Structure 1
Amino acid sequence: MVFIREIRMAVIKPNISIEYAGKATVVSFADEKILEEQDIKALQESIMSIIEQAERISLILDFGNVRFLSSAVLGLLIRISKRIYERDGKLRLCNINPKIYEIFKITRLTKTFDICKDVESAAEDLSQAD
């Protein structure tokens, strides 16, 4: 069992929060909808900045609040994944809404991303991957 200890939390526009679960950085999306181009660009800037600040990041993206997302978000996730792996890091997605998960299955992104049930299982999976 992995215990989540919040070291610090920041809320960044566009409405993401950053927490820590063990050695993993957890980015949680606060918005129910991620649809607008300017929000997606801001998300990219924020998340890429987080990745660049770490030498080897273990990143968990928590979609617990997200019910709708545009196809541009899928492209963003692929860019995030590529950058993390270029820097020898690890990425897990979690708390994905069943309807969004279906999109991941149809697009075969379930083969690209490691998707976990929740933050705890994602953090445990990352700790075992070390």
Structure 2
Amino acid sequence: MVGSKILNLNSIDGVTVASFNVTSICGVTDVEELSTELRQYVDSVKPQKLIIDFEGVKFFSSQMLGLLVDIWRRLGEYGGVFMISGTNPQLGRVFKITNLDKLFKLYPDRQQALNSI
């Protein structure tokens, strides 16, 4: 397990699960810290399977969407699988409005994402 004040990275049966210690990801400092941690992790570890679990997160800024697209692209460069789980209805609407629900594999919770692998 790797963790910071915002982000936890755990391995469950060979799947990296990124979860959050906050309910809101909107401060510029928070998003920058998250960006640095996730990008460094993906670039150095190159996880084959990554779930970003938003359970408990009620809000995130639009910068978070850019980070998710970047992480998805980085994993795609080497054939990694990228999934998102645990979005509440409000966050789910953001993915639909931006059409990112067509780009990302979305699951209602972490267990369903793990079961899909």
In the superposition, the TM-score normalised over structure 2's length comes to 0.92
The 5 A counterparts of 1:1-130 are 9-13=1-5, 15-126=6-117
SS in 1 for 2:9: strand
Which of structure 1's runs of 4+ aligned residues deviate more than 6 A? none
Work out which of the two has the higher radius of gyration on C-alpha atoms and give 1 or 2.
1
The runs of 5 or more residues in structure 1 that have no matched partner are 1-8
Provide the aligned C-alpha RMSD in A. 1.3
Distance 1:17 1:110 in 2: 24
Opposite residue 10 of structure 1, the aligned amino acid is: V
Distance 2:43 2:66 in 1: 19
Contact between 2:26 and 2:60, CA under 8 Å: does it hold in 1? yes
How far the C-alpha of 1:21 sits from its partner, in A, is 1.7
Distance 2:62 2:70 in 1: 13
How far the C-alpha of 1:11 sits from its partner, in A, is 2.2
Contact between 1:44 and 1:76, CA under 8 Å: does it hold in 2? yes
Aligned-pair identity in percent equals 31
Taking structure 1 as reference, are residues 105 and 23 closer, same or farther at Cα in structure 2, changes over 3 Å only?
Answer: same
Distance 1:123 1:26 in 2: 9
Distance 2:102 2:91 in 1: 15
SS in 1 for 2:43: helix
Opposite residue 35 of structure 1, the aligned amino acid is: C
The runs of 5 or more residues in structure 2 that have no matched partner are none
Distance 1:44 1:25 in 2: 16
How far the C-alpha of 1:34 sits from its partner, in A, is 0.4
Aligned length: 117
